[in-house]
Structure 1
Amino acid sequence: MSDLPAPTRRTVLAGGCALTLAGVALGSTACTSSSAAGHTSFTVPTTDIPVGGGTVFRDHTTVITQPTPGEYHAFSAVCPHQRCTVNAVRDDLIHCPCHGSRFRIADGSVQEGPARTGLTTRTVTVTGDTLRID
């Protein structure tokens, strides 16, 4: 067994980005981060987001909602209570499975705790029938 400390999340992510950047010359894409939380930008068709509900994109730790037709919102899918990932959108609420927190689809604010703060907002840009999340 080694006496070396386990690598931190930051060290692992930095190493991954360094390897990705090294692959750019071979046609790979670089790590692109568009927010302080380290989220990457991505796009989805508007048809993937149901009116009056939403969709959780676990790979992007993001939940996108459409409270009314053509009104889109995006939030971090990480619950501020204990960092669990929300897993469902139903009954006008975003649900966290760990401790029962619920968030409003219109603004990500807390409807029911134990979370004390709402979900972190992400930027949504609508272009035709595509949503870009930053």
Structure 2
Amino acid sequence: MSEAPESPAPSRRTLLCGAAAVLAAGGTVAVSGCSSSASSTGSGSGSDTAAKTPVDVGPAAAVPVGGGTVFREKRIVVTQPTEGQYKAFSAKCTHAGCIVDQVKNQKIQCPCHSSMFGIADGAVVDGPAPTPLPAYDVVVEGGNLKVTPR
């Protein structure tokens, strides 16, 4: 009698994603890098900021004119295409869900697969990302940026 062929061992990524799902015990889980593609509704639903309440990301002075700042811990990127005009987007790349890491040469840049997004509208400028970064509302209150998902 011949033995059945062995199944390949699961990858570390598969094990970690599975463990996170078990620990979540039926709750929503967002584990960075567990999805092969990021979903985006464009409406802000399912965004990394759980509620539609303003999130204080930091001082407006931290966002340079013609550039932007990634607030990694908040998963938000804020840009200032022209002086006094602030734009906010999800920092989660729409290709594989990586967090963008910098704003350079008027482009929001993802380190994983070189997707780039425009600082004025979050539109895909280059790379494999299929859709723009989801846009958020942003206001300046008391010198700080308050960002709200749409």
Displacement of 1:116 in angstroms is 1.5
Deviates more, 1:49-58 or 1:118-127: 118-127
Secondary structure of 1:8 counterpart: helix
Provide TM-score, normalisation by structure 1: 0.73
In structure 1, which of residues 62, 65, 85 is the aligned counterpart of residue 79 of structure 2?
65
What residue number does 1:47 align with?
61
- Within the candidate set 121, 125, 129, 2:139 is matched to 125
Q: Which runs of 5+ in 2 are unaligned?
A: 1-17, 29-43
SS in 1 for 2:85: coil
Q: 1:7-66 CA distances to partner (integer Å, 9 max, x unpaired)?
A: 428827959xxxxxxxxxxxxxxxxxx953140542221101111100001100111000
Greater RCO, 1 or 2 (C-alpha within 8 Å, sep 6+): 2
For 1:22, the equivalent position in structure 2 comes to none
Distance 1:120 1:8, change over 3 A: same
The AA in structure 2 aligned to 1:52 is: G
Instruction: Choose from 47, 52, 64 the match for 1:37.
Output: 47
Q: Hey, what does 1:56 align to over in structure 2?
A: 70
Q: One-letter code of the match for 1:61? A: R
SS in 2 for 1:111: strand
Measured against aligned partners, the alpha-carbon deviations of 1:68-115 in whole angstroms (never above 9, x if no partner) come to 000001111110101111001010000001111000000000000211
Gaps in structure 1 of 5+ consecutive residues: 16-33
Query: Alignment partner of 2:68: what SS?
Result: strand
Are the aligned partners of 2:116 and 2:127 in contact in 1 as well (CA < 8 Å)? yes
Q: Which has the higher helix share?
A: 1
- TM-score normalised according to structure 2 size: 0.66
- Alpha-carbon distance, 1:118 to partner: 0.6
In the comparison of the two structures, how many residue pairs are matched?
112
State percent identity of aligned pairs: 44
For residue 20 of structure 1, what is the aligned residue in structure 2? none
- Give the aligned residue type for 2:81: P
- Give the AA of the match of 2:117: F
